[in-house]
Structure formats: C-alpha cells, structure tokens
Copies of this chain bind each other. A is one copy, B any other.
Amino acid sequence: MKRTTYAGLVDDQFVGQNVSLKGWVQKRRDLGQLIFIDLRDREGLVQLVFSKEFSEDALKIADQLRNEFVIEITGDVKKRQDKDINPNMKTGTVEVEVHEARILNTAKTPPFDIEDNVNASDELRMKYRYLDLRRPEMLRGLKVRNRITQAVHSYLDENGFLDVETPNLTKSTPEGARDYLVPSRVYPGHFYALPQSPQLFKQLLMGAGIDRYYQIARCFRDEDLRGDRQPEFTQIDLETSFLSAEEIQDITEGLIARVMKDTLDIDVKLPFDRISWNESMSRFGTDQPDVRFSMELKDLTETVRDSEFKVFSGAVERGGQVKAIAVPGGADAFSRKDIDKLGKYVERFGAKGLAWVKVTDDGFSGPIAKFFDVNRTKAVIAATNANVGDLLLFAADRKKIVADTLSYLRVELAKQLNLIDEDKFAFLWVVDWPLFDYDEGDQKWVAAHHPFTMPNEEDVHYLDEGEDPHKAHAQSYDIILNGLELGGGSIRIHTRELQEKMLKALDFTPESAKEQFGFLLDALDFGFPPHGGLAIGLDRFARLLAKRDNIRDVIAFPKNSKAAEPMTDAPSIVSDQQLDELSLKVTKTSFNDEDNK
C-alpha cells in the first residue's frame, strides 16, 4: 500500500478520508476489545484505534504490537469526541479507525525511551544514535539544519554564487591548528592533510575568475575538543571578487535574513549594527558581545585617576584601567554575600577582587563609599548612568583583566537577573580587527584572522620596513549572534608584494614562505582580482536556531569528547597489510578498550 501522508500530518483536513500510514509504534494502550496505538513518523504522532468493529484481523495484529514495531495501516480518519480531544498533540482532534494493518518489522525494547528530555547518558545515546535521532527534539535539530542549508543554496544561487567543491585531500601546512593527516600509498612517507578550511582554494577560485563562490564545506581540526567543537565541522563558506567589506556584509545579511525567515519564520531587521573592534572592547570588554541586554562597561580611568582609593589610583598609575558596570536594581538584588560570590567568580580572570558601591538617594554606600566625595560621586554616576538602587561593580587592573572580568561578569549578571530574552536573535558586526594577535602561550605574534587578511588602507604602511606591523588593523569582520561568533571574514591581500610583507611580519623566511605558500604567491603574479569573503559555522548556527545546548545535537553522527564514535567504534585498529601498503609502522598502540572511548 502506498502512504497517503505522514502520520504527524493527519489533521482535521483528513476527516472522512481513508488513509494509509507507515511508522513506528510509540505507545500502546490495550483495553481488550479496543487497542489504541500512537503511531509515530518523521512528522509526529497520530492515534490509531483498533477494534473488532473495524477489523478483527487488524485487532489481532494490534495485539502483537510493541513499542518501536514498524507497521503500515489503512483506516478512516474520524473526528474525536470533544472530551477525547488532546490539545497537546498536533493531530489531537482526530483518530484513525484501522481496517488493515501489517507488521513490517519487529523491535526489541530500546535501551531508552524515544521521547524528549531523555534520561540516558551521552555515551548510550551515541551508541544507539539511530534511536536517539528518533526522538522529536533530535529530529527537529536535523530539520532546522536542513532548512538552513536549503536557504543558503537558494539565496546564494539567486545571488550569482557558484557552488564549487574544493578538495579534502590537500597539503599539510603547519600554520594554524593541527592537521588530520592521510598517508599516501603511491608516495611512501608522504601525507595529505584534511583541510582546516577551504581558504586558499577559495582564494584561488577568485584568481580563476569564478567571481562568486560558495560551498557548504567540511573542515577538519585535530584539536582537543571543547563543548562547541568537533573534529569535523561544517562551514558556509563564500568568497567574492571586486566587492568591498561592506558589500560582502550586505550580502551576508541578506543570507542570514533568508535563513531566519525560512527556518524560524522570523523577520530580522536589516542592516545589523556594525561596531569597530575597538568600540566592542571598550563597551563590552569582548569582541563577541551579547547585545540582547545593556549593562555596558563604562570607563572611569580618568574619573578616578587621583582617587584616594589606592586600588583605583594605583591601577591607573601602573598604566591600567578602571571600568565599571551598573547593575540595574542590583542594590537590593545582591546581598554582601552574593557580591562576595561574584568576587570569587572573577578571580579566574585574574581580578584580585571586586570593588563595589550601591547607589542610594544619598550617594554611595558600601565599604569603599567613603573614598567618593560629592564631586567624584557625581562624576561616577554621570559616567555610568547609574540610578538609585543600582549596584556598581568596578574592575581596576591591566586592560585585559578588566575586560575579561567585566565582560564575563556582565553575562553572568544578566543570567542571574534574567535580563536575557531567550527568544531574541541579536546579530551584530564587529569590524576592523587588529591584524595581529599576541599569542601569550607561544610568546609570539600570530595572524589574528589568517595570514591573507588585508590591512586597512591607511595601515598598510605599518608593514613596511622599520615600522611596527602590529599596530595595523584589518579589513576584517565577524558576525556575532547572541554573544557568540557565528562567522567571520575579511578582504584578502591580492598582490604578491603585500602578501610577502605580511608573511615576513609573521616571521616567515622567504624560503619557508615559498615552501608553504609558493603556489599562492605565484598565483598573485598572474592578475589576481581584489577579493574577500566570509565563513559561517553551520553547526553553531544550527544549534542556536534549534535552541540546543550542544552542537552534537545538530550533527547526525558526531564524535564524543575524545573524538571517538561509539556506535561504529571508530577509530579502530587496522590490518598490518593496510599499514604495509602505506609504509607505516605504529610505535605505540592504546588499548582497544571501548569503554575508554
């Protein structure tokens, strides 16, 4: 029998019709002569009724059914009596009287229930991933992801972008994160690398005159995993020729608006705000600000420069900063104990304490209130826009510590005070990033974005001999959603001369530059157009739109936190023959202990 529609779509429209449905037994209620089955498929549930009255054979079948059996049925759609209507079910006004039924497959009892908010361990869920994905909230994650990619394809196609595939077997470059390697059989001792991104290939496509490229591209990084990371991840990757940073941002906004409309039926307001990296750091202490709420950082460095409170004036004297946030209504909301807890919380960012005052009708109260005379109180209130009843929290330290302390505190307080509208999607551009970042770990300057990023026009001279390249800012832009980096991009360097200067500033010798990026430098010699682009993290975008806590929930078959896949048990030991063919020897083998993965 041919399916008429999905079970989850049988609604009032179908009343009076004969339908054929296929799906899984979600639940069975056996009243003897009357058996109710909730039939589940991709689109939801519908209630089936089996009774001798409709079909004795079907009733016998129903008697054998257990959860997760696969069945097909034919029956008549009837309106339920008012008292039987289930308002929590999309199909709750109808039921199907079954005239014919057939078991297509049986099922053992699953290791966890197929329902939302399942109470099973992550490992168990991953081992039985095909069962976990049957749960509606998981299915919804995949559907949201699908809607995003469909919107991306249609919007970018309409806007003249060509979908071009770039290779997954590429050359290893020590720059950036650690590569996944793929040994070559034809060239013993040689390796491909899985791409960390299609960056160089998409630039070369601009050199090839493709003009507008996009790809939903798989990327790979062999790094230790954190919550929002996977060994393989997907980005919406695009590149254009001849466009300015603003034009690329405009196109991206159109793309995001389409995605929001097609996925969640939300109309986002365009254009998004664009703030410079400097402004973002100043107002929010972070380059990924969550602008769903206010509580911005206010600079008090000048206001307290000559304060008698030595924590403030001392910090300023040492070249540091004093900044504050005004917590609305915080004077009552936070006890001294609560504030002590916040002080504890910010220690992780290097803060040596958390100075505070409460704003009262008579000025400030609290242990350090005495250091604020009338004028300074007025000045602080003016600078922070604080109102009576607010709590003022101060950080006084090196710039980075102040920024970290107050930016994390800001988010933490917003959560505690329920200031965040979880239904809001707040997009924002942060532009003009520094060209270089100082890597505290490796004690060296690295490319903030990547080594192909174009400096701002007025900063190009910083890359000249005898100047300080690290002063340069870049034609780069990140798109932030709800305080998380959704993606980013830049205008790229399109002349060999500037690219060589940039690599030199990153401590490449001419030889190492040629060895690693010779093909790009050569390409720049042959009429390379001005170009730029952007990449958006699809996994994170899908997670945010599906309102899930972990990107694993929007990836069909993710890896666990140790980069293993418990269902198929990958990675695994391979045969000696496979290793021989690759001219490889394993020097150490971990126990093949599934529980370890």
Contact = CB atoms under 8 A, between A and B. Distances in A.
Contacts of A586: 188-189, 583-585
Contact of A172 (B105, B178, B572, B581): B572
A24 B218 contact: no
Interface stretch (A138-146, A335-343, A432-440): A138-146
A425 interface: no
A486 to B, nearest CB: 18
Contacts of A189: 573, 586, 588-590
Interface in A74-94: none
B218 A570 contact: no
5 contacts: A72-B242, A130-B204, A167-B557, A191-B573, A583-B586
Contacts of A191: 571-574, 578
Given A150-B153, A526-B108, A143 B130 contact: no
A129 interface: yes
B142 A69 contact: no
B211 A556 contact: no
B179 A555 contact: no
A129 B204 contact: yes
A308 B320 CA distance: 109
Nearest to A152: B153
B104 A526 contact: no
A456 interface: no
Given A209-B134, A563-B184, A565-B171, A571 B526 contact: no
Given A134-B209, A571-B184, A169 B559 contact: yes
A519 B187 contact: no
A400 interface: no
Interface in A341-362: none
Interface string A560-576: 00111101111111110
Interface string A518-542: 0100010111111000000000000
A494 interface: yes
B574 A181 contact: yes
A205 interface: yes
A194 interface: yes
A119 interface: no
Interface stretch (A157-165, A267-275, A414-422): A157-165
A568 B529 contact: no
Contacts of A218: 165, 168, 218
Interface in A460-505: 494-495
Given A3-B242, A22-B529, A162 B186 contact: no
Interface in A195-233: 200-201, 204-205, 207-211, 218, 220, 222, 231-232
B162 A142 contact: yes
B529 A142 contact: no
A485 B200 CA distance: 34
A512 interface: no
A586 B570 CA distance: 23
A171 B569 contact: yes
Nearest to A188: B588
B526 A130 contact: yes
Given A104-B530, A590-B190, A210 B42 contact: yes
